[in-house]
Amino acid sequence: MNSITIRSKIHFRRGHRNKKELHVGPEKQSAPTSVVPRVARLMALAIRFDQLIRNGVVINQAELARLGHVTRARLTQIMNLRLLAPDIQEAILFLPRVENGRDQIFLRDLQPIALVSDWRKQRRMWRSLKSRV
């Protein structure tokens, strides 16, 4: 009687309803995931919302809030990013992608800076924030 030996790599992974499933072949290595920081996405959103209001596509921030299913207070927090100095806005838009872990800068970090009307003071506050992260 002849015997046959089959060699193959196998691995287990969670499937339907979180049940373990046996799969033939090596486990696929997932590509490293990185994401655009949330504040960068919010900055881009604030710029886009500002354009929509200026172009008359929407009447005001209240309408934007209603359409986006967020409170007017939340929309105001996002739109306050437009009060930042242009170079700070640009720096936020080009923050490096987050490879793993948490974002370094949060919207709550930027709110006090945005409420300062003097752009020179904003820039000092921004540099201070960047040096802490």
Domain ranges of the chain: 38-97+105-119
pLDDT of residue 32: 60
Over the stretch 14-32, which tens digit does the pLDDT of each residue have? 777 777 777 677 767 666 6
Q: pLDDT band for 37, please (50, 70, 90 cuts).
A: very high
pLDDT of residue 9: 78
Residue with the two structure tokens 């309408």: 63
CB-count exposure of residue 132 (10 Å: 0-12, 13-18, 19+): exposed
Over the stretch 112-132, which tens digit does the pLDDT of each residue have? 999 999 999 999 999 999 999
Rounded alpha-carbon distances, angstroms, from residue 114 to 34, 75, 84, 102, 104? 27, 14, 5, 22, 18
In the three-class reduction of DSSP (H, G, I as helix; E, B as strand; rest coil), residue 104 is classed as: coil
Mean model confidence pLDDT for the chain: 90
